[in-house]
Amino acid sequence: MRRKLVVGNWKMHGSRAANAQLLAGLKEAGPWNADVTVCVPFPYIAETALALTATALNYGAQDCSAHEQGAYTGEVSSAMLADMACRYVIVGHSERRAYHAESDQLVADKAKAALAHGVTPIVCVGETLAEREAGLTESVVKRQLAAVIHTLGHCCGEMVVAYEPVWAIGTGLTATPAQAQAVHAVLRAQLRAATDRAVAMRILYGGSVKPDNAAELFAQPDIDGGLIGGAALKVADFAAICRAAAH
Ligand SMILES: O=C[C@H](O)COP(=O)(O)O
């Protein structure tokens, strides 16, 4: 039985005051019988770490560099994330693939850099609406995951995978539990062919997860939690999603 994982991706939201309120609210609402993590903007990692000291909540980042160190202005290395005791880092979110032209290989290299420093990568895959309508969902997510599996080799069993259909992100359109499960099963089979750890690996669903649809999504056999955007910014909504994961 895989323990559920719920990850709040704050994206480019927050302020010191708002974060303090959100984290205090989550500390009060928890703990839950699930792993819960917030992935916060880089400037807020230190204060988040402090706020979550001695709690069951984890924290992480939303991206990292594929480079180790050096003259890469604006980049943040996975060594730095490890130095800040980040547990997770999201790589390959569709917003980074789309707005920063991140290739499958760059995403894979970032995942490798993270693992090299003991930070667990949450590798995002997902198709656009046009790709889904063209019947390409399976081939797109398999291509994206294959690059990571190939680059990580025998370490690929240590990552978390997140399936996020691009058309469901921030749109209020959620994949139905059956649609999501179908893709998760494809991803699980691909992982099974690559590592004997596949059965223990967590595959998260992301895309308009809300308190009223979380339980049904999380009840699917290959959905092991969620990557939550908008609803992660509201204590009551995120807490309700964490509760749904705890069943
Ligand atoms: O990383 C989170 C996803 O992009 C989902 O965002 P959303 O829950 O606002 O649709």
- Tell me the pLDDT tens digit for each residue of 150-159: 999 989 999 9
Asked if residue 247 has pLDDT above 90, the reply is no
Ligand 1 atom 2: residue of nearest CA: 229
pLDDT score of 163: 98
What is the signed CA dihedral for 175, 178, 182, 187, rounded to 10 degrees? 60
Query: Does 169 have pLDDT greater than 90?
Result: no
The pick from 38, 163, 164, 167 for probing ligand 1's pocket by mutation, whose C-beta has the most ligand atoms within 8 angstroms, reads: 164
Please give the residue that has the higher pLDDT: either 134 or 171.
134
Q: Say if residue 165's pLDDT is above 80.
A: yes
Instruction: Please give the biggest Cα pair distance in the chain.
Output: 48
Q: Please give the distance of CA 216 from its chain centroid, rounded to a whole number.
A: 19
Q: 66 has which bridge partners?
A: none
Cα torsion 170, 187, 183, 185: sign:
negative
Burial of 42 (0-12, 13-18, 19+ CB in 10 A): middle
* pLDDT for 1: 75
Sequence-distant contacts of 182-187: CB under 8 A, at least 24 apart: 183/137, 183/138, 183/141, 184/220, 184/222, 184/223, 185/221, 185/222, 186/138, 186/141, 186/142, 187/125, 187/141, 187/142, 187/145, 187/161, 187/163, 187/222
pTM of the model: 0.97
Q: How long is the chain? A: 247
One of 95, 131, 164, 184 is an active-site residue; which one?
164
98 lines ligand 1 (CB under 6 A): no
> Does residue 123 surpass a pLDDT of 90?
yes
Share the mean pLDDT of the chain. 97
Ligand 1 pocket check for 230: Cβ under 6 Å:
yes
Any binding-site annotation on 167? no
Confidence of residue 65 (pLDDT cuts 50, 70, 90): very high
Any binding-site annotation on 170?
A: yes
Q: Is the pLDDT of residue 174 over 90?
A: no
33 is in an annotated binding site: no
For the purposes of burial, counting CB atoms within 10 Å of the CB of 234, is it exposed (0-12), middle (13-18) or buried (19 or more)?
middle
Q: 5, 6, 7, 9: which to mutate for ligand 1, most atoms within 8 A of CB?
A: 9
Q: Tokens standing for 111?
A: 């995942």
Question: What Cα–Cα distance (Å) separates residue 47 from each residue in 88, 106, 235, 236?
Answer: 16, 29, 18, 22
Residue matched to tokens 């819960």: 36
pLDDT value of residue 175: 86
* 131 CA to centre of own chain: 21
Q: How many angstroms does the Cα of residue 159 sit away from the middle of ligand 1?
A: 19
ipTM over the 0.90 cut-off: yes
Residue 170 confidence (pLDDT): 82
Check residue 149 and give its pLDDT.
97
Mean pLDDT of 113-129: 97
**Contact 239 CB / ligand 1 (< 6 Å):** no
Q: Is the CATH code 3.20.20.70 the one for domain 5-245? A: yes
Please tell me which residue in 93, 102, 131, 184 is annotated as part of the active site: 93
Q: Which atom of ligand 1 has the smallest separation from the CA of 170?
A: 10
pLDDT band at 53 (very low <50, low <70, confident <90, very high): very high
Q: Read off the pLDDT of residues 87-106 as tens digits, 9 standing for 90 and up.
A: 999 999 999 999 999 999 99
User: What is the predicted pLDDT for the residue at 172?
Assistant: 82
